[in-house]
Every structure is written in structure tokens, then in C-alpha cells.
């Protein structure tokens, strides 16, 4: 259920409460636009990116741990996935150059929709990662998987706060969230949150109202 929600929201579907029949249709459907790109940030061994590769023209996974990246590429090869690439390094340093390369290769155009999936560790992410996401204007939507909502709240705020020198770029806003109980009879609960980039007009209006 967790991965199906992430998949649906990354593809722009509004409701996570779909029936099995609708999920089967989604599984067999073509991507919504052949130029869509998925960024699997903090990708680990590539589970999310590999599962969603058939819905996107290109999947780029970034992970700090080299061994996890090696496993991700091995997993993609084993599954016959040819449109996914996983690279090792800090997200805040690799995100910009990777998007620039995709633009140079013609994978990303002015009409492309770039979606980022974030599945960070329990401790959350460095603010530099959030700033890098905000600064990459091609990213129109973020699907955030929070295993500890209290720790993730800081990152959500960093994505949604008004623009500043530290957090440049048009802010995102939360559109929907759903808890997923992966561990019944425990206090642990995953929370999947969809964030959509504000329009420049909405951002300007919010800034004016806050003054």
C-alpha cells in the first residue's frame, strides 16, 4: 500500500484510496507524458525508483552510501530496468548537475514534469538538500515518505516556507497526506505527504500578505 500511494501521487493521481481494479489499470497504463522524470532522492537500494520506472521516461536515484547504490544498479539490471540510473553522492551536490545534464540531453524540456520522491532516514535531511530541491525549478511535485513525522516536520517546513536567501525558489505547499500503518499494534506509522510547487502568482500573493 505504501508504494502504491507513492506511485499514484508521483503520477499526479489525487486519491490514494483506489481499489485493486484501479491499481491493476494503473499498473498497465502508460506514463502520463513520455518526458516525465522521477528523482528518487535518498534512494537506498532503489526500491521506489525501480518499482516506478515503467511510469517515467527516466529515473535518477541519488544515495549517499556507495554500497546501496551498487545494490540499486544491480537490482535494476536484474529486473530488466533500462531507464533508471543510480549514483552515489550527496543530494545537494548532485541534484543540480544531474538536472542540467538531463536538459542538455533533451530528456527535460520546458514542458516536462519532474517529480521528486524523498524517503529520508528517520533523522531527516540536511537543510541544504531542501534548499537544492527548491532551487531546482524543474521539480513541480515532491512525494515525501516520513517514517518519523516529528523529525520530518523540519524538512516539510523548509520546503514550504517563504523564499529567503537560505531557501531560494518558489515554495511548495502540502496538498494531501495519508498515514500508512506498516507495523500494526505499534506506535510506528509511515506518513506519505504530497507537496506541489506554488505558482509564481500564488507565491507573490502570499509574500504580499505576509508583509
Confidence band, pLDDT 50/70/90 cuts, at residue 16: very low
Three-state DSSP class for residue 140: strand
Q: Cite the annotated binding site by residue number.
A: 63, 119
Average pLDDT value for the chain: 83
Question: Is residue 6's pLDDT more than 60?
Answer: yes
Q: Is the distance from CB of 115 to CB of 36 less than 8 angstroms?
A: yes
Burial class (CB in 10 A: 0-12, 13-18, 19+), 149: middle
In whole angstroms, how large is the CA radius of gyration of the chain? 17
Among 72, 76, 69, 39, residue whose Cα is nearest residue 56? 39
Alpha helices in the chain (DSSP H): 2-10, 20-28, 47-52, 66-78, 91-104, 127-135, 149-160, 200-210
Exposed/middle/buried for 13, CB within 10 Å: 0-12, 13-18, 19+? middle
- The lowest-confidence range among 7-11, 111-115, 169-173 is 7-11
Domains of the chain, by residue range, sit at 2-210
User: What is the per-residue pLDDT for 1?
Assistant: 62
Express each pLDDT in 51-83 by its tens digit: 999 889 999 999 999 999 999 999 999 999 999
Q: Is residue 34 very low, low, confident or very high in pLDDT (cuts 50, 70, 90)?
A: very low
Is 2-210 assigned to CATH 3.30.360.10? no
Buried-state track 38-70, b at ≥16 Cβ within 10 A, e below 16: bbbbbbbbbebbbbbbbbbbbbbbbbeeeebbe
Task: List, by residue number, the catalytic residues.
Answer: 147
Backbone CA torsion sign across 75, 76, 77, 81: positive
Whether 175 contacts 159, CB under 8 Å: no
Q: Which residues are annotated as a binding site for S-adenosyl-L-methionine?
A: 63, 119
Is the model's pLDDT at 17 over the cut of 60? no
In this prediction, residue 194 carries a pLDDT of: 93
pLDDT of residue 87: 97
Q: How far apart are CA 97 and CA 211, in angstroms?
A: 35
23 pLDDT more than 70: no
What is the reported pLDDT for 211?
58
Percent of the chain with pLDDT over 70: 83
Query: What is the SS3 string spanning 149-190?
Result: HHHHHHHHHHHHCCCCCCCCCCCEEEEEEEEECCCCCCCCCE
Find cell 550527496 and name the residue. 90
Amino acid at each position: 500500500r505504501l508504494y502504491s500511494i507513492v506511485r499514484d501521487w508521483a503520477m499526479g493521481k489525487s486519491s490514494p484510496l483506489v481499489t485493486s481494479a484501479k491499481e491493476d489499470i494503473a499498473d498497465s497504463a502508460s506514463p502520463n507524458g513520455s518526458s516525465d522524470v522521477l528523482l528518487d532522492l535518498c534512494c537506498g537500494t532503489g526500491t521506489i525508483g525501480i518499482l516506478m520506472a515503467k511510469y517515467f521516461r527516466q529515473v535518477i536515484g541519488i544515495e549517499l552510501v556507495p554500497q546501496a547504490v551498487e545494490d540499486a544498479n544491480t537490482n535494476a539490471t536484474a529486473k530488466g530496468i533500462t531507464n533508471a540510473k543510480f549514483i552515489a553522492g550527496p543530494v545537494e551536490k548532485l541534484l543540480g548537475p544531474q538536472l542540467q545534464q538531463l536538459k542538455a540531453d533533451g530528456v527535460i524540456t520546458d514542458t516536462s514534469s519532474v517529480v521528486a520522491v524523498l524517503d529520508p532516514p528517520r533523522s531527516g535531511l540536511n537543510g541544504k538538500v531542501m534548499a537544492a530541491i527548491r532551487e531546482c525549478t524543474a521539480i513541480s511535485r515532491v512525494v515525501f515518505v516520513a517514517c518519523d513525522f516529528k523529525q520530518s516536520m523540519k524538512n516539510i517546513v523548509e520546503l514550504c516556507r517563504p523564499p529567503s536567501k537560505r531557501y531560494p525558489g518558489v515554495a511548495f505547499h502540502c496538498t494531501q497526506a495519508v498515514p500508512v500503518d506498516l507495523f500494526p499494534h505499534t506506535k510506528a506509522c509511515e506518513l506519505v505527504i504530497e507537496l506541489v510547487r506554488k505558482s509564481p502568482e500564488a507565491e507573490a500573493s502570499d509574500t504580499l500578505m505576509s508583509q
